[in-house]
Amino acid sequence: MIVTKNLQKAFGDHVVLNGIDETINKGEKVVIIGPSGSGKSTFLRCMNLLEVPTGGEIWFEDNNITDKKTDINKLRCKMGMVFQQFNLFPHLSVLENITLAPVNLGLMTKEEAESKAVELLKRIGLAEKAAAYPNQLSGGQKQRIAIVRALAMNPDVMLFDEPTSALDPEMVGEVLDLMEQLADEGMTMVVVTHEMRFARKVATRILFIDEGKIVEQNTPDEFFDNPTHPRLKEFLSKIL
């Protein structure tokens, strides 16, 4: 579904991604972990071109998204993204946050979008917050609504960029539970996170990125129980 070929990204002289070849297939739940500054967030943000790579190619559903002629806006509709800082639109109500994109892109009528939004809000138990504004919500509620906002576009893949890192500890659970539900429903997911328990439980594959390269990848059990690369061993010994 997503293929990267020799993906490179540099900010000036600072090389962040140093040749990443990776294929993410439909239905996979790929968790990316790595020390800070390793390039894991940049890798994720390249997948929907929020960061423009300085070299290599990215293919999404047989479209080369690094090709200038590709209509990236159309492809982004199929790739939901969830941010560390939620990035809800503070001047719009929860309902408007969710319906804004589908309505303005002409994908749904206002009525369709609203009924879909209400349905999604009901699912996460926040239907009564439809008219509320983002600054009246807790961090966990904001992030769950940000997830719902992305889901309202009916994406084929969901990208999560450290979705729980900005949350108070007691709110992490509700967000991870929702992500786990999504995973159980078969959503293709790419998740950058520090939540190792979530990675172990939900991931089908874990990538370890260090200094702009994937140095090791494996199934969760093997990844945590039998790490081979010394850098990964060191990393796991520090955090587990």
Partner 1 sequence: MKDELITRHEKLGGTKLEKFYSWLNSIYQSYYNAIVPEKRYLLYLDGIKITILISLLAIALGVVIGVIVAVVKVSANNSKMKWLSKICNLYTTVVRGTPLVIQLLIIYNLVFNSRSTNAIIVGAVCFGFNSGAYVAEIIRAGIESIDRGQMEAGRSLGLNHVKTMRLIILPQAIKNILPALGNEFIVLIKETSVASYISVVDLTAAAHLVASRTYDILPPLIIIALCYLIMTMGLTKILSIFERRLARGDRH
Contact 166, 139 (CB under 8 A): yes
When binding is defined by CB under 8 A, the residue of 3, 100, 118, 236 that contacts partner 1 is 100
Contact 92, 100 (CB under 8 A): yes
Phi, psi of 209 (to 5 degrees): -105, 135
Phi, psi of 217 (to 5 degrees): -150, 150
- Of 146-154, 184-192, 208-216, 221-229, the window that binds partner 1 (rule: CB under 8 A) is 146-154
Helix 110-123 × helix 139-151 angle, to 10°? 130
4 contacts: CB under 8 Å, gap ≥ 6: 20, 21, 22, 23, 43, 46, 47, 56, 57, 58, 59
- Of 55-63, 98-106, 168-176, 205-213, the window that binds partner 1 (rule: CB under 8 A) is 98-106
19 contacts: CB under 8 Å, gap ≥ 6: 6, 7, 8, 56, 212, 213
Compare residues 36 and 104 and give the one whose CB is closer to partner 1.
104
- Of 14-22, 29-37, 85-93, 196-204, the window that binds partner 1 (rule: CB under 8 A) is 85-93
145 binds partner 1 (CB under 8 A): no
In the region spanning residues 208 to 227, those forming contacts with partner 1, defined by CB under 8 A, are none
Shortest distance (Å) from residue 160 CB to partner 1 = 12
Count the residues of the shown chain that bind partner 1, applying the rule CB under 8 A. 29
When binding is defined by CB under 8 A, the residue of 25, 37, 67, 105 that contacts partner 1 is 105
90 binds partner 1 (CB under 8 A): yes
Nearest to 199 by CA among 164, 148, 150: 164
Contact string 150-189 vs partner 1 (x = CB under 8 A) = x--x------------------------------------
- Of 35-43, 101-109, 183-191, 225-233, the window that binds partner 1 (rule: CB under 8 A) is 101-109
Distance from the Cα of residue 113 to its chain's centroid: 22
Taking every pair of Cα atoms in the chain, the longest distance, rounded to a whole number of angstroms, is 55
Report DSSP state, residue 156: S
When binding is defined by CB under 8 A, the residue of 24, 46, 58, 79 that contacts partner 1 is 79
Residues in contact with partner 1 by CB under 8 A are 48, 50, 73-74, 76-77, 79-81, 83, 85, 87-91, 93, 100-101, 104-105, 132-133, 135-136, 146, 149-150, 153
